[in-house]
Chains A and B, each alone.
Chain A
Amino acid sequence: MADDKAALLGYLRQMLEIRGFEDKVYELLSRNVIIGASHLSAGQEAVPVGACAALGPDDVITSTHRGHGHCIAKGGRLPEMMAELCGKSTGYSRGRGGSMHIADVAGGNLGATGIVGGNIPVATGAGLAIKMRGEQRVVLCFFGDGACNNGVFHESLNMAGLWTLPVVYIIENNLYGMSVSTKRACAIESMADRATSYNMPGGVVDGQRVLVVREAVRTAVAHARAGKGPTLIEARTYRYYGHSRSDPRKYRTREEEDHYRTERDPITLFKRHLLDEKIASAGEIEAVEKAVADAIEEATKFALDSPYPDESELYDFLYVE
């Protein structure tokens, strides 16, 4: 499939939006404008953007506590996202969820969970619904390396393999579950090897290269649409910020962080590709960067100017009346 320039610049824009969003959230957290937990995914942008680039508009995703990138890559709107992080009534979840619980069900994002692995059964059930109705849609389920050691990973992937459900399971292996490295948490080196146990294809991809991720997910999506069932993809990536705001990152070296930032940054790698292949000029890339910076500022202004929910709404949405 020949790539059109607009699509490629679109990937750049989404990756820049994620980076810009996370950097802005970090700044707002530091100034106590945003409270609560925000788990930032800067450094991991190529995984959600590459993966969602392989989806059609009717396909759905499930997301995690580190989910801002998933939401943006699935087409989420920055103002509603930032408003949600600020607990404002204009946010995606009307301020009830915050950073860890953004959902955009109408836009195909079935929501982010704060329970590690908690979205894996949901994705599996969504795949079951699609299969039972004979639809051609696919579910893309993001989770981290830590979730692979949780019981529902085994339960759900077994069920999806058994029933050939149209689900693509994507491990965002950023090498650490909070502070514990995968080497200290997982009995095998490559979690994708577990795909064998569930009778599904599996493999490791370079999660810092957006087109590599897209290619792997395209193959998996085609497999699912053909009725052949799920795939397990392990995307190796890295998060620049700590697990959360209070994390001093004692478990990894500054040399390792510098290596990823200077040699393996997904945005730098992709810009270089666009320039080297003469797909876009430096001026065109700068124009995208400028547009993203403006969009982040607008989203922030929208969030800060928005009202909080009223106390009288405390019980709203608890039950369907």
Chain B
Amino acid sequence: MPEQFFWEAVRDALAEEMRRDPAVFVMGEDVAIYGGAYGATRGLYEEFGDERVRDTPISENTIAGAAAGAAMMGMRPVAEIMYADFLTLAMDQLVNTAAKNRYMFGGRTTVPMVLRTEGGTGRGIAAQHSQSTEAWFNHAPGILLVMPATPYDAKGLLKTCIRDDNPILFIEHKMLYGTKGEVPDEEYTIPLGVADVKRAGDDVTIIAYSKVVLDTLEAAEMLAEEGITAEVIDLRTIKPLDMHTIVKSVRKTGRVVCVSEACRTNGVPSEIIARIQEEAFDWLDAPVARVCGEDVPIPMSPPLEAAAVPSPERIAAAAMRLME
């Protein structure tokens, strides 16, 4: 199977859906001539022109709200917010308009929009360009949440999101754009709400999403050297959450580590762990562990930035402790 960079998979998903459906268009800051701050829209402007690949003013709340308005009128906008940190500026229109309109209006409308953004640490760009903000939206009914870890998943999921009739927040980790993976030439999509077992194992289940899936796979290698087989579940979509795959794995291993780069308190793992104790308590052989980001703004200095987020070593160590 041919290999592609993550950014190419995102770009190809957008291009394929734009060719397929004239209602799909891309809007955001620097998405056209520049090709997106992280290059994920490179080439689209050249193919589709400035009507369908639309550079916007620096107006995040209106980018989100205008996407919602265009969606309610039958378009399928894919809006981009340059950094997940900047979602604060778009929060009102995302949460109060995009997420609520269908419910609040008794189902009389749909808001088929995707809002792409990128988050996470790794580039030394400090507190306002590195945060993982997904948990805020996990707490907002009406909007779905997708965070792929591989080029294959990014492409298949983004295509599904563009065709879906719900508002969806699609978060790409900034350190994934330069990663490579197999992506088939032929058309495919991936359903929402289906986790992917990235590595099978019997001793411990490690649940992760987005870039920390790669760290977790490294951790699983370390554990294998110690004779421990870890099952690595990549959630891929946070909302809807695939509890079926999680519970199935918990029943097999009895031990769980939940990993997220976002800060620990009230993070996505908090919810997953609550769900596990509601749905699989009797199958647990140990308390569920979590490996999360620290509860601090992301610092710039490289050793501090690294200390603020999970690493393969920390993930492996957490799993080892469960085996004691």
Residues of chain A having any CB pair with chain B under 8 Å = 60, 62, 91-97, 101, 103-106, 110-111, 113-115, 118, 120-130, 132-133, 151-152, 155-156, 158-159, 162, 316-320
Contacts and interface: CB of A to CB of B under 8 A. Distances in A.
Interface in B234-259: none
Nearest to A101: B104
B72 A122 contact: yes
A118 B93 contact: yes
Interface of B: 25, 51-52, 56-57, 59, 61-62, 64-75, 77, 92-93, 96-97, 101-110, 112, 141-142, 144, 164-166
Nearest to B73: A129
Contact of B66 (A122, A130, A320): A122
Given A121-B69, A122-B66, A156-B62, A129 B74 contact: yes
A159 B105 contact: no
Contact of B59 (A60, A114, A132, A158): A158
A106 to B, nearest CB: 7
B96 A93 contact: no
A159 B57 contact: yes
Closest 4 CB pairs of A and B: A121-B65, A125-B69, A125-B66, A94-B106
A230 to B, nearest CB: 13
Nearest to A98: B104
A155 B64 contact: no
A118 B65 contact: yes
Contacts of B112: 320
Contacts of A95: 106
A60 B70 CA distance: 12
B68 A122 contact: yes
16 contacts: A93-B106, A97-B106, A110-B109, A111-B105, A123-B69, A126-B69, A126-B70, A128-B66, A130-B73, A133-B75, A152-B62, A152-B93, A317-B106, A318-B102, A320-B110, A320-B165
Contact of B65 (A94, A105, A124, A130): A124
B68 A125 contact: yes
Contacts of B107: 94, 316-317
A92 B69 contact: no
A132 to B, nearest CB: 6
Contact of B106 (A96, A123, A124, A129): A96
Contacts of A316: 107
B246 to A, nearest CB: 20
Nearest to A316: B107
Nearest to B96: A115
A139 B94 CA distance: 21
Given A115-B92, A121-B61, A317 B103 contact: yes
A121 B93 contact: yes
Contact of A128 (B59, B69, B96, B142): B69
Given A128-B69, A316-B107, A319-B144, 7 more contacts: A60-B73, A95-B106, A128-B75, A151-B61, A152-B61, A155-B62, A320-B166
B62 A159 contact: yes
B62 A92 contact: no
Contacts of B93: 118, 121, 152
A115 B100 CA distance: 12
A125 B65 contact: yes
A320 B102 contact: yes
Contact of A155 (B59, B69, B106, B108): B59
A105 B71 CA distance: 12
B159 to A, nearest CB: 17
A94 B106 CA distance: 5
A62 B97 CA distance: 12
A152 B65 contact: yes
A113 B64 CA distance: 15
A125 B71 contact: yes
A120 B67 CA distance: 12
B97 A121 contact: yes
B144 to A, nearest CB: 7
B248 to A, nearest CB: 23
A132 B103 contact: no
B142 A319 contact: yes
A123 B73 CA distance: 10
Given A125-B70, A128-B66, A106 B108 contact: yes
B108 A92 contact: yes
A320 B109 CA distance: 10
Contacts of B103: 96, 317-318
Contacts of B65: 118, 120-122, 124-125, 152, 156
Given A121-B61, A320-B164, A91 B66 contact: no
A132 B109 contact: no
Contacts of B68: 121-122, 125
Contacts of A92: 105-106, 108
B81 to A, nearest CB: 13
Contacts of A125: 65-73, 77
Contacts of A132: 25, 51-52, 70, 75
Contacts of A129: 69-70, 73-75
Contacts of B67: 125
A121 B68 CA distance: 8
Nearest to A132: B51
A156 B105 contact: no
Contacts of A121: 61-62, 64-66, 68-69, 93, 97
A121 B98 CA distance: 11
A155 B105 CA distance: 25
Nearest to B101: A111
Nearest to A123: B69
A91 B73 contact: no
Nearest to A89: B106
A158 B62 CA distance: 10
Point out which of A92, A105, A118, A128 has the most chain B C-beta atoms below 10 A from its C-beta: A128
Contacts of B106: 91-97, 103, 317
